[in-house]
Structure 1
């Protein structure tokens, strides 16, 4: 048993999502969104380095010492998997660990709208799950892939950095590929994927032009592609994809994206006030013919209006999702106001006037 495993056990017992280990500081847990220090001594650089290197593969240590940054996956059987990030900082070595539960929760267990599970049945196209770091994108995506795994008879290929949720083949066969271990990059894996007879491709992160371009190409050639982006809402997701391309290509990209895109799910996590835990508010955009036309014509600013009128298709705006959680008394008015888009709708729920001068 590695020395650091005791901290992972504590992390699991406390229901923490993240563990921070930093030279020159005490260990820190993130519990329900808040940072809390562990009652433990301040970690010295060489002591922490030895602790971290104990669980790290040798080839990854070499990468870390050459570059100062590195990601990999670590698993404690019977407990959980961890996404590990090592980095150099002013006082020495640092690391952040994100816990990935061994059990994959279903869409129903997560309380996701019914339309989310239906995305797993799409024959082809591009589905994007977006949101800020730590908003639960991987958990939602894992639930959708799990639904496909239970209901379809297909080949699912996942490309991640590192592999997070591990799915066991059920009705589908599933292959997990890790960037840096099984393949050089997301783009390399996507190019190879088209020769590996996949029906569904899950791309852990669409972070550059080449990966986004290849993902759209795969969606246009008859595959169902799931991917994640670090964007705040559906409208900004569409804009981000188009704007990453050179100006002279953006007209063509708009047309391709309009044809390829099937849905955008954008989520924000909130701390619950009724019970311990967190809950996600989801903005859902379904690409109806009206939405496709707006993307093609460069009128993405009208997408929120279409979402307001498209509730029969399963669409909802982030503000509507936040309002529903607030009215069910699952989240605080202050959190609702801080994360909503149209602030005026939520001011009346606040006990005190807002203090954020940028919203005045």
Structure 2
């Protein structure tokens, strides 16, 4: 893992959020939203394969062999927690790596006030968090869960791809399931959640029709569901979820969402 440690330490101190490793090509990292070349370092495919072997579990490698792609998270000594997305590029293995913040923010750190705290204190309902990839959805959801964990005695069940922030039980108790290592997909995870008596359920994606339907069923049964989705503004988030359905299904879905929806958070990061 020497190559990975060296590269991660070089770019993390610069404030990089992501790292891109392709065989026999320059290493790139993302800094303040822009892609930057890391001069003087290039990895071959054997080195990239070694990184995969040293950071992944047998289950993740089994999935990689079957599906030709896998996403997992791993704690790397001296670097921190990383999210690995492994895939094939022109027939060779490549990796996109996300640096996961060690800090779980308070709601106040992110500018959320009493209104959000009041909503997330509700016993049930639907909360949607939307943004483009890399714009902070996961950090916002972690802050919401951190608030619940600090103030309420609840059972929290998460379905994530993969588990990024690992929570320690405070007032609440956590079950964190990772796709595809622990559970195959979001729908199956939400069905499983229904059977373990949760108070709060988090779905890393609520874009799939079957997952959305099951999330609403959980809300209707008395759970708070926090769902992550791709985002525009609040209106666009709702329109996207509804318009992807067959026309005959849209009115019924609109009515179910209207009866359960508590809050939509649409966000963007401000460039430095």
Give TM class, smaller chain: over 0.9
**Equivalent residue, structure 2, for 1:15:** 15
Distance in 2, matches of 1:110 and 1:77, equals 28
**Equivalent residue, structure 2, for 1:128:** 128
Measured after TM superposition, the shift of residue 240 of structure 1 is 1.5
Moved over 4 A (4+): none
Distance 1:255 1:176, change over 3 A: same
Deviation larger for 158-167 or 107-116: 107-116
Backbone CA RMSD of aligned residues: 1.7
Distance in 2, matches of 1:150 and 1:21, equals 38
Radius of gyration: which is bigger?
Answer: 1
1:45 aligns with 2:45: yes
Per the alignment, in what secondary structure is the counterpart of residue 270 of structure 1? coil
Residues 202-243 of structure 1: CA distance to partner in whole angstroms, max 9, x if unpaired?
A: 111113111111011111111000011112111111111212
1:191-340 aligned within 5 A? 191-272=191-272
1:87 aligns with 2:94: no
Measured after TM superposition, the shift of residue 58 of structure 1 is 2.5
**Equivalent residue, structure 2, for 1:143:** 143
- 8 Å contact kept, 2:128–2:226: yes
- 8 Å contact kept, 1:177–1:183: yes
Output the TM-score relative to the length of structure 2. Answer: 0.94
Distance in 1, matches of 2:260 and 2:166, equals 27
Per the alignment, in what secondary structure is the counterpart of residue 259 of structure 1? helix
Measured after TM superposition, the shift of residue 263 of structure 1 is 0.8
Per the alignment, in what secondary structure is the counterpart of residue 143 of structure 2? helix
**Equivalent residue, structure 1, for 2:177:** 177
Per the alignment, in what secondary structure is the counterpart of residue 26 of structure 1? strand
Residue correspondences, number? 272
Per the alignment, in what secondary structure is the counterpart of residue 5 of structure 1? helix
1:69 aligns with 2:56: no
Greater RCO (CA < 8 Å, at least 6 residues apart):
2
Distance 1:3 1:209, change over 3 A: same
Residues 278-323 of structure 1: CA distance to partner in whole angstroms, max 9, x if unpaired?
A: xxxxxxxxxxxxxxxxxxxxxxxxxxxxxxxxxxxxxxxxxxxxxx
Per the alignment, in what secondary structure is the counterpart of residue 54 of structure 1? helix
- 8 Å contact kept, 2:59–2:181: no
Distance in 1, matches of 2:179 and 2:47, equals 29
Distance in 1, matches of 2:10 and 2:113, equals 33
Distance in 1, matches of 2:252 and 2:220, equals 14
**Equivalent residue, structure 2, for 1:4:** 4
Distance in 2, matches of 1:236 and 1:50, equals 42
Distance 1:51 1:194, change over 3 A: closer
> Is there any run of 5+ residues in structure 1 with no aligned partner, and where?
273-360
**Equivalent residue, structure 2, for 1:289:** none
